[in-house]
Chains A and B, each alone.
Chain A
């Protein structure tokens, strides 16, 4: 299926459209922040702490009197940045591993599968925690850790795709015509695996955003005063008795972002599924 065709069919899926709207909303919030913000996200106003939604502060103020909307606008940048970095790292590394493993097979394949098994044994954010313990806390290290966590998923999808197509008739035909491995891998097989990889990108992005929020919540991700959804949640928890509503703002933002990418991935998967 051509990509334009795939793209067109996605818009007929309610899930995909709903997901795309959610992501678009968060994306707009983030992009708008580059041009205009209601307040400086770090400006404190201690006389105006934990104010509920008002025309002056549409999403209220936090425990230091900082404008929550502005902080959300800046925080969204880091969610997208970390998500993007993690997916990119997983895509390139996992994709290459999957290609070699699936296309060439043999002992290398066995080893790769075993390593993926091993990595799957580290539940949730544990692997990321272990890497952060070694490399230290910080934005770059967290992106690295989440990227490594995303590798197995990409490797598995790519591998099974290549395993499926490496003996396909059109590949044999290309081989007979004298196409080299590189050409077969990138020109002939990869386009067939690409839709699955796009789905994986979308789902991994959602996963990375979730993990980022978790790590930042623990104080092991993005460091204050830089705003991040996870950190804001832990601050909101600390002031839950005074301002219960505060929790809902970052919670809604994380949910929109994660659900948006999940729904887009699901919708896309459905389109691909129908085609087979």
Chain B
């Protein structure tokens, strides 16, 4: 129980620090938000009025508290550019980003774990060399670079899949999957390479453990040793990098959404930076970082459920 209390406390502190950092970075900003909204040539009286309206004339700690209270209520302020609540804009883009992330993660796991297991067994053989090379390539080709190559192959040459745009799930599940397949492939190409590495190393390490010898000494066949003993023990350390994979996939989607013109959070971020729409950027950054922190927390908890030893530590 103490384990869970400690983890929860750590989780809350991290969330608090993340929001503090997000808030603080935007305070370094030279110039003043009211001027940014109205432009340098605007009437000073108007600027002063807006400063008061958005609370920019209050002391810093007060402003943080106001902002944090707003965040907790789900109020992230209003976008300068779209003249809409940031929360509403985010929730609009969220479904796209989350679908892409879930799809990419699923592909990552489906590709990464079996390939990692296979490479742990056959990695040293000559016929495994192309697979090893591909996974090395996955670590080295940036996802957006991969996407453009995929567009060239599957959209331009083969004409199998769309190169841009997004169809919502509700409209047509098939088209939705089609529109997400290339971006998800591009992201999972890299993240599955990371997963493959971990799985491979973990299995190789576990196969040298003494309990494997014990299982063999009982007369368990190689298949049973692998599936009944090695697999679970190998996947536990892999679970710890799952939080990292979520981070990877979300980070990848920021740029990938721009490559494929998907109307998600990543696309919102780059357009809002181009227009210096600060409340929107702040909200988006906080939101993405928040998702990562929550996912890491969930992984920690899952870890303790699967591994009975961890709660003792």
A and B directly contacting (CB within 8 A): yes
By a beta-carbon cutoff of 8 Å, the part of chain A in contact with chain B is 114-115, 117-126, 129-134, 206, 210, 213-214, 217-220, 233, 236-237, 240-241, 244, 247-248, 250-251, 254-255, 258-259, 262-263
Please tell me if the beta carbons of B255 and A233 are within 8 angstroms of each other in the complex.
no
Query: Of B61-69, B114-122, B135-143, B215-223, which stretch is located at the interface?
Result: B135-143
Bound Cα distance from A134 to B21, whole angstroms: 13
Could you say which of B18, B28, B142, B276 contacts A214, with CB atoms under 8 Å apart? Answer: B142
**B253 to chain A: closest CB distance in Å?**
8
Please tell me if the beta carbons of B142 and A122 are within 8 angstroms of each other in the complex.
no
Given contacts A129-B269, A206-B140, contact A254 B145 (CB under 8 A): yes
Please tell me if the beta carbons of A125 and B152 are within 8 angstroms of each other in the complex.
no
Could you say which of B18, B148, B152, B248 contacts A121, with CB atoms under 8 Å apart? Answer: B18
A-facing mask of B24-49, CB < 8 A → 1, else 0?
01101100000000000000000000
Contact of B254 with A by CB under 8 A: yes
Please tell me if the beta carbons of B157 and A244 are within 8 angstroms of each other in the complex.
yes
4 additional A-B residue pairs with CB within 8 Å, beyond A218-B255, A240-B151: A122-B18, A129-B269, A233-B148, A259-B139
Could you say which of B29, B142, B288 contacts A213, with CB atoms under 8 Å apart? Answer: B142
Bound Cα distance from A218 to B259, whole angstroms: 9
Interface of A is mostly: helix
Please tell me if the beta carbons of A125 and B254 are within 8 angstroms of each other in the complex.
yes
**B272 to chain A: closest CB distance in Å?**
8
Please tell me if the beta carbons of A247 and B149 are within 8 angstroms of each other in the complex.
yes
Please tell me if the beta carbons of B255 and A121 are within 8 angstroms of each other in the complex.
no
Given contacts A122-B288, A129-B270, A134-B28, contact A237 B145 (CB under 8 A): no
Interface centre among B28, B148, B251, B288 (most CB of A within 10 A): B148
**A60 to chain B: closest CB distance in Å?**
15
Bound Cα distance from A262 to B141, whole angstroms: 11
Please tell me if the beta carbons of B156 and A213 are within 8 angstroms of each other in the complex.
no
Could you say which of A210, A244, A263 contacts B152, with CB atoms under 8 Å apart? Answer: A244
Please tell me if the beta carbons of B142 and A124 are within 8 angstroms of each other in the complex.
no
Bound Cα distance from A206 to B272, whole angstroms: 28
**11 chain-A/chain-B pairs, Cβ below 8 angstroms:** A124-B250, A129-B270, A130-B281, A133-B281, A134-B29, A214-B142, A219-B274, A244-B157, A251-B149, A255-B137, A259-B136
Please tell me if the beta carbons of B141 and A254 are within 8 angstroms of each other in the complex.
yes
Bound Cα distance from A263 to B292, whole angstroms: 29
- A residues near B246, Cβ cutoff 8 Å: 123
Bound Cα distance from A141 to B214, whole angstroms: 58
Bound Cα distance from A117 to B289, whole angstroms: 11
- B residues near A123, Cβ cutoff 8 Å: 246-248, 250-251, 254, 288-289, 292
By a beta-carbon cutoff of 8 Å, the part of chain B in contact with chain A is 13-14, 17-18, 21-22, 25-26, 28-29, 136-137, 139-142, 144-145, 148-149, 151-152, 156-157, 163, 246-248, 250-252, 254-255, 258-259, 269-270, 272-274, 276, 278, 281, 285, 288-289, 292-293, 296
Could you say which of A124, A125, A129, A130 contacts B22, with CB atoms under 8 Å apart? Answer: A130
Please tell me if the beta carbons of A126 and B289 are within 8 angstroms of each other in the complex.
yes
Please tell me if the beta carbons of B14 and A114 are within 8 angstroms of each other in the complex.
yes
Bound Cα distance from A214 to B25, whole angstroms: 22
- 3 tightest A-B CB contacts, nearest first: A124-B251, A123-B251, A259-B140
Bound Cα distance from A4 to B269, whole angstroms: 47
Bound Cα distance from A119 to B17, whole angstroms: 10
Bound Cα distance from A36 to B254, whole angstroms: 38
- A residues near B269, Cβ cutoff 8 Å: 126, 129
The residue on B at minimum CB distance from A258 is B140
Please tell me if the beta carbons of A118 and B281 are within 8 angstroms of each other in the complex.
no
**A218 to chain B: closest CB distance in Å?**
5
- A residues near B22, Cβ cutoff 8 Å: 130
Please tell me if the beta carbons of A114 and B26 are within 8 angstroms of each other in the complex.
no
- B residues near A263, Cβ cutoff 8 Å: 136
The residue on A at minimum CB distance from B285 is A130
Please tell me if the beta carbons of A114 and B140 are within 8 angstroms of each other in the complex.
no
Interface centre among A121, A122, A214, A233 (most CB of B within 10 A): A121
**A130 to chain B: closest CB distance in Å?**
5
Could you say which of B21, B142, B151, B285 contacts A258, with CB atoms under 8 Å apart? Answer: B142
- B residues near A233, Cβ cutoff 8 Å: 144-145, 148
Please tell me if the beta carbons of B281 and A237 are within 8 angstroms of each other in the complex.
no
Please tell me if the beta carbons of A118 and B14 are within 8 angstroms of each other in the complex.
yes
